[in-house]
Amino acid sequence: MSRHGDFAASLRLEANKQLPMGQPLQAAMAPPHVTIALDQGSGSSACPVVARGDRVYAGSTLGRSEREDCAAVHSPVAGVVVEIDTRAVPAGTGLCITVENDGSNRPDPALAPIPDYSALSPRDLLERFRNAGIAGLGGAAFPTATKLGSARQQTTAHLILNGAECEPWICCDDALMREKAADILYGARAMMHVAGANRCTVAIEDDKPEALQAIQAALKSAPEGFELATLPSLYPSGAERQLITALTGQEVPSSGLPTDLGIVCQNVGTAAAIARFLQTGEPLVRRVVTVTGSGIAQPANLEAYIGSPITSLIERCGGYRGRPRRLIEGGSMMGRALESDTVPITKATNCIFAATDADLVARDQAAACIRCGDCAQACPAGLLPQELHRAARVDDGPKLDSLGIEDCILCGCCDYVCPSRIPLTEQFRAARLAVRRHRADQLRAAEAKQRFERHESRLQAQAEAERRAFEEARRRARANPN
């Protein structure tokens, strides 16, 4: 086991992970209705391949996409498609397919396990991962096949399994590693086969001794090339780029990807999902979710079907305790506050955090920035948030760009330490959108200008040709008056 130092800047935060860990991981339970969002959180929507009234099995494909950034979606239950409509999802609203569960739980007959993945070519296996809707379960829900595919194209030797789980309150990966260590390593081997990697590092923060132990035990029977790395419990050590730097000392180029360093990062939950798919043929229709917070009667880690309404998860944890003030998808640093608990969970939902006032820190009214620079000390991307803030206030796009707004990972560290309580992360998120929109506008304007100029010069050339022809005709007419 190797220990690794910390990266540029980080915060030591209160973990708040002990509540759900008292309970064992609970097995999945199917609710009477599931609502599958066609955009599972990657920002790109699949196209429905079923119609209202269709009968589907557990594991039947509901939607798929040709796009690189979109994974297929499947029905976790057998039943009837009752509605395809736009609904509230954690990320806002989006097109969803609602399936009424008939309780039979009959699996799709087309599904079959893959007993020996190494008999399949990496290309074939990638296609199967794509069709099985395997996506990053760390919170981004980016299609795993795309990530592994680009890793395969560049020579990628090193797979990093991310079990750091640095964000407060979230402990679904911890629970998974304790109970499914062998599955995780099996999935990792399949990913190494696909990416062509020969090395695998499992990275876990040192506040998870039981998970470390479980992985260590499972590693005894692992082939060569596997190692376990312990990280100090610092936020955001689980952020992909920061994790890579902590483990290898190398930095991922700003506009590049980890594959530029010959590295591909995958969440431990994704590895477990791949193992389940290979062993049972089941596509990605369930994940582990932490349900926690002082507003939950019995906090626990649950296996839950994608598309289950959040209320069904809360019920399985004994309902609310008191009246939680905020319902958060994710942890306290990057989690999204939800308006309602009726929205369905997605592949990106790692945690449901029902926070009471005791879990939150009330924010005072934001005061003026005093340029103390605490934010720059805390920024893991090495940015100057105080300067970004200044540029964002006056919408100075070029300045935002040169200060590295695109390098911001929205981790919230600057916000956390700001003595003036300025909502920096939210400001940077908006500023980045504005900068991107502005850049797209400029590009479009430049293209339009080019088109216009080409058109003008065509017209001019045409007029010139006509004039010349006319002159020519006149000259000829003058020369031969007859």
- Of 158-166, 198-206, 264-272, 422-430, the segment contacting another protein by CB under 8 A is 422-430
- In angstroms, the Cα distances linking 219 to 179, 189, 201, 444 are 14, 12, 11, 53
Q: What is the DSSP string of 107-158?
A: BPTT----S-GGGS-HHHHHHHHHHTT-B-TTTT--BHHHHHHHHHHS---E
Q: Tokens for 49, please give them.
A: 């391949």
**Rounded distance between C-alpha atoms, residue 379 and residue 375, angstroms:** 6
- Tell me how far, at minimum, the Cβ of 380 lies from another protein, in Å: 7
**Rounded distance between C-alpha atoms, residue 386 and residue 368, angstroms:** 11
In this complex, which beta carbon is closest to another protein, that of residue 86 or of residue 254? Answer: 254
Give the H or E element holding residue 64. strand 61-64
* Binds another protein by CB under 8 A, chosen from 72, 374, 391, 392: 374
- Cβ atoms of 390 and 371 within 8 Å: the answer is no
367 lies in the binding site for another protein (CB under 8 A): yes
396 lies in the binding site for another protein (CB under 8 A): no
334 lies in the binding site for another protein (CB under 8 A): yes
* Binds another protein by CB under 8 A, chosen from 21, 273, 328, 351: 328
Residue 388 backbone dihedrals phi, psi, to 5 degrees: -60, -40
Report the site for another protein in 211-250 (rule: CB under 8 A).
241, 245
- Tell me how far, at minimum, the Cβ of 41 lies from another protein, in Å: 15
* Binds another protein by CB under 8 A, chosen from 412, 431, 432, 435: 412
Q: Tokens for 359, please give them.
A: 């879990």
- Cβ atoms of 73 and 346 within 8 Å: the answer is no
319 lies in the binding site for another protein (CB under 8 A): no
CA 360 to chain centre: 24
Binding flags for another protein, 164-203, as an x/- string (CB under 8 A): ----x-----------------------------------
358 lies in the binding site for another protein (CB under 8 A): no
Report CA dihedral (131, 135, 141, 142) to the nearest 10 degrees. -80
336 lies in the binding site for another protein (CB under 8 A): yes
- Of 110-118, 142-150, 403-411, 450-458, the segment contacting another protein by CB under 8 A is 403-411
In this complex, which beta carbon is closest to another protein, that of residue 194 or of residue 310? Answer: 310
Please work out the total of residues on this chain that contact another protein, with binding judged by CB under 8 A. 66
Q: Which of 90, 93, 139 is nearest to 334 (CA)?
A: 139
- Of 185-193, 207-215, 425-433, 470-478, the segment contacting another protein by CB under 8 A is 425-433
Q: What is the DSSP string of 444-475?
A: HHHHHHHHHHHHHHHHHHHHHHHHHHHHHHHH
In this complex, which beta carbon is closest to another protein, that of residue 241 or of residue 276? Answer: 241
Binding site residues, another protein, CB under 8 A = 8, 13, 168, 241, 245, 251-254, 256, 320, 324-328, 330, 332-341, 355, 359-361, 363-365, 367-374, 376-377, 380-384, 386-387, 403-404, 407, 412, 415-421, 423, 425-426, 429
